[in-house]
Amino acid sequence: MKKSFFTSVIVFTLFFSAHDLFAQKEGPEKTRVLLANTADSTQLLSYPMDVMAIITNKCLGCHSPNARNEESRDALQWIELQSMGAVDIVATLDEVSEVLEEGSMPPEKMLERFPHLKLTDEEVALLKAWVESTLTEVMGE
């Protein structure tokens, strides 16, 4: 209970700080929120608002520390990306990229019960573009 409360607080804080950033700043950087540090502290992993909204609405239910399903918790927890080094971020995002390519997430079984969690084509495209640009950035290419 305590843990889930803590996670919710983090998610909300991130969301609102992102919203503030969006409201205050002008220019191309305004939609980017800094969320995670890579091993190299000079490099920052960032989530645009729209990407963050998709992850929050459609992925975090199963891929966060308080998720009920152990398998999905073990497979990926978005929040862990914050403390990962560059090597692990690349490995994790490569898997995310594969899953998006296959269209295997959220899983069929989940969608049968919660059809609203299905990723739209537009959302898949946004996530893919973010994954690819982040990979390029983290790999320093």
Residues that bind other proteins (CB under 8 A): 86-88, 90-95, 97, 135, 139
Give the contacts of 108 (CB within 8 A, at least 6 positions apart).
none
Tell me the closest approach of the beta carbon of residue 4 to other proteins, in angstroms: 26
User: 3-state SS of the chain: helix, strand, coil percent to 5?
Assistant: 65, 10, 25
Work out whether strand 44-48 and strand 32-37 pair parallel, antiparallel, or are unpaired: antiparallel
Name residue 28's amino acid: P
Kindly tell me which of 122 and 132 has the beta carbon lying closer to other proteins: 132
Tell me the closest approach of the beta carbon of residue 9 to other proteins, in angstroms: 30
Tell me the closest approach of the beta carbon of residue 64 to other proteins, in angstroms: 20
Kindly tell me which of 28 and 140 has the beta carbon lying closer to other proteins: 140
Tell me the closest approach of the beta carbon of residue 130 to other proteins, in angstroms: 15
Kindly tell me which of 20 and 98 has the beta carbon lying closer to other proteins: 98
Kindly tell me which of 108 and 132 has the beta carbon lying closer to other proteins: 132
Residue 59's alpha-carbon distances to 26, 63, 70, in angstroms, are 29, 6, 14
